[in-house]
Homo-oligomer: A and B are copies of this chain.
């Protein structure tokens, strides 16, 4: 297991958390990660990836011209579990927000109705 202080420091940045989330379940190239966060430069993403790598929170392997990153979930231990819960909560919030939006466009149903799919 990693030195917790380093882990806390690493995940304190929303940017690094977002990167971790992106490469939590799949391996992505640095460029893919950057495309998912177009509000910053490629350089900025690369620097954060380096920090995560130095902290031991992600793995990297070179494939042809690309460098593929993925989270070292096993190294994150309990912090990882908490990140997952946080991300799940975010999804839940989005879902909730969508439902709230729906209610704003029509009368609030008495009881939960089966949603029409689509």
Binding site for B on A (CB under 8 A): 4-5, 8-9, 11-12, 14, 17, 78-79, 81-83, 85-86
In the complex the two chains form, what is the Cα distance from A8 to B83 in whole Å?
10
- Tell me whether A12 and B8 are in contact (CB under 8 A): yes
For the complex with contacts A12-B12, A79-B82, 15 further pairs of A-B residues with Cβ separation under 8 Å are A4-B82, A4-B83, A4-B85, A4-B86, A5-B14, A5-B17, A8-B8, A8-B11, A8-B12, A8-B17, A9-B12, A11-B12, A78-B78, A78-B81, A78-B82
Can you show 18 pairs from A to B with CB atoms below 8 A apart? Answer: A4-B82, A4-B83, A4-B85, A4-B86, A5-B14, A5-B17, A5-B86, A8-B8, A8-B11, A8-B12, A8-B17, A9-B12, A11-B12, A12-B12, A78-B78, A78-B81, A78-B82, A79-B82
Q: Hey, which chain B residues are within 8 Å of A83, CB to CB?
A: 4
Residues of B within 8 A of A79 (CB): 82
C-alpha gap A5/B14 in the complex (Å): 8
Point out which of A17, A79, A82 has the most chain B C-beta atoms below 10 A from its C-beta.
A82
Chain B residues near A12 (CB-CB < 8 A): 8-9, 11-12
